[in-house]
Amino acid sequence: MTKIAVTVTHDFQLIPETIYQAWTQPEILKKWLFHDGELIQCDNQLETNGYFIFTDRRNGQDVQHIGHYLTLEKPNRLQFTWGVVDDLPASSLVTIDIQATPSGSQVTLTHQIDKQWETYVPQIKQSWAKMLQQIEDFVV
């Protein structure tokens, strides 16, 4: 199936190690991931081919996000599958590249989705941009 790449870039005043930890440590993930809802489950097995399960509660409804870590190159790159339990077996691929800059770091997040989800590109882009901003706002 044809894939579409949705890319978001964000400049941080945080070093790459801090950004990497924000994506991999449950106690930090709980501070920023799905901050508009309530993250009621945040489990991961941080190793190549390990898993994650994040359950987000919004308006009384639980949505379970799951995936497997494909690449863990601390502190510069993560790559993982991303899916919602209700949509299985459909999943997508997320790549996070973290580069050091003079003022901190720059993150480029690329989410590869199936062409069938093309109408959701603006929403996906907005959601990831907001989550990257939340790292800046809630991780110290």
Distance CA 61, CA 128 (A): 21
pLDDT of the residue at 123: 94
Tell me if residue 59 falls in helix, strand or coil: coil
Asked if residue 18 lies in contact with residue 121, where contact means CB atoms within 8 angstroms, the answer is: no
Q: In the 8-state DSSP scheme, what is residue 55?
A: E
- Average pLDDT, stretch 97-117? 96
Distance CA 68, CA 50 (A): 5
pLDDT of the residue at 101: 97
pTM for the model stands at 0.91
Evaluate if residue 67 carries a pLDDT over 70: yes
- Average pLDDT, stretch 85-108? 90
Task: Choose between 28 and 85: higher pLDDT.
Answer: 28
Q: Confidence class of residue 110 from pLDDT cuts 50, 70 and 90? A: very high
